[in-house]
Structure 1
Amino acid sequence: MKQAVLGSAFAPAYSILCENDRDAAERETLLDRVMGPRRKSKSSEKLRRGRLPADGLAFIAREPEGRMIGTVRLWNVSLGNTDVNALLLGPLAVVEECAGQGVGAALMLHAIAEARRLEHLAILLVGDAGYYGRFGFSADLTAALSMPGPYETNRFLALELVPGALSHASGVLYPSGRKAVVRSRVA
């Protein structure tokens, strides 16, 4: 399991870990708490529904005591009618009491580094350009792309991990990658 321990004199230490199956309920509770009940109605969620995150690209941040304080996942998507595959980032969430302490930035940098190490071409997301711009994300790279469903075009951003990876990409994003296995309950 990959782990990065981070912290400073001003912020508690925390570790960034690969997410595992035991983290699911705690992650969902964190996301509900941070993002609210409407999070499942977003266009990005349509691309994640029924899928598993990209292999090796789901991370959590935990305090030394074991409490989960942040999460980020990347998902496989295909770009329109092209043969270009990319990743969709999200959601990125940090518990309110740790906001502004660098946990989200550390999760972002870790996710980007791992995606690059695994030789993915690009990462897309819907989010605040002011926040994500510092990591290299730009709306300029998504001009010929669109999300399925409503979204704000100025918040649809991309980062090329390989220069020029999105230069010929166009069309609507659609989900790709591994499908989630639905376990039926036996009465």
Structure 2
Amino acid sequence: MPIRAEKPSDYLATEQVVQAAFADEPFSDHSEHLLVSRLRASDAFIPALSLVYEEHDSIIGHLLLSKIEIVHAGGSCHQALALAPVSVLPSQQGKGIGTALINKSIEIAKELGYTAIVVLGHAKYYPKFGFRPASQWDIRAPFEVPDEAFMALELVPGGLDGVHGTVRYSPAFFA
């Protein structure tokens, strides 16, 4: 499979893919490529979970999972992952590349011992991977979002049992 961990020598090409993937998205601020760069420089970055899809020595897709915490009102925290962004060159979309990246990232996240992933995304796309509204676990975003668009996935059975609270993203998301 043409999916591998991103290397520093890929950074420019990856950011170009991310920028192109979101260029025509109406609900985008078109700065996702800058988010990727900021996340790489943060404590939330996990090199093994920054994946690229490569074809004919060209990067055509990218996915990033980064560390987050789910913070309970009492102060306890549960470590999880945020899926953001998933990017595929517009000319390559609809070919299963995003699906392959998501499936591979879930596999690697499980191998690394993570128990859950959250995503803010299309309510009709992510459920096919097992994502469900995070509100089912009383997990909330730190900002206003439609309930159906903020989702969570248990990577292991019961991975979110007893977990509830507000997601704390890396400051890189808000710079």
**TM-score category by the smaller chain?**
0.7 to 0.9
Q: 2:118 aligned with 1:124, yes or no? A: yes
5+ residue gaps, structure 1, are 6-14, 180-187
Q: Which residue of 2 aligns with 1:154?
A: 148
Q: Distance in 2 between matches of 1:109 and 1:103?
A: 10
**Which of these residues, 39, 49, 53, is aligned with residue 57 of structure 1?**
49
Deviations 1:123-162 (A, max 9, x none): 1101112211111111155551222233222111111012
Task: Map Cα deviations across residues 40-99 of structure 1 (whole Å, 9 max, x no partner).
Answer: 48xx98x959525224111000112x1111000100011013331100011001111111
RMSD: 2.5
Structure 2, unmatched stretches of 5+, are none
Identity over aligned pairs, percent? 28
C-alpha spacing 1:88/1:168, structure 2 compared with 1 (3 Å):
same
Amino acid of the structure 2 residue aligned with 1:133: P
| Alpha-carbon distance between aligned partners in 2 of 1:151 and 1:24, rounded to the nearest angstrom | 30
| Aligned pairs for 1:1-187 within 5 A | 5=1, 15-36=2-23, 38-40=29-31, 48=39, 51=42, 52-64=44-56, 66-81=57-72, 82-140=76-134, 143-175=137-169
Distance 2:164 2:132 in 1: 16
- Whole-Å Cα distance in 2 between the matches of residues 16 and 39 of structure 1? 25
SS in 1 for 2:3: strand
The answer to which of 87-96 and 145-154 deviates more is: 145-154
Greater share of strand: 2
Alignment partner of 2:18: what SS?
helix
8 A contact 1:144–1:170 mirrored in 2: yes
Question: Counterpart of 1:57 in 2: which secondary structure?
Answer: strand
Larger Rg: 1
Offset at residue 101 of structure 1 (A) = 0.8
What TM-score comes out, normalization by structure 2 length?
Answer: 0.81
Aligned partners of 2:158 and 2:133: how far apart in 1? 15
TM-score (norm 1): 0.76
Counterparts of 1:102 and 1:161, CA distance in 2:
21
Counterpart CA distance in 2 for 1:55 and 1:33 is 22
What is the CA–CA distance in structure 2 between the aligned matches of 1:49 and 1:38, rounded to whole Å? Answer: 19
Deviation string 1:11-67 (CA, Å, 9 cap, x unpaired) is xxxx111101111111111111111371448xx98x959525224111000112x11
Change (3 A) 1:140 1:125: closer
Say if 1:140 and 1:173 are closer, same or farther in 2 by CA, change over 3 A.
closer
4+ runs deviating over 3 angstroms = 47-50, 140-143
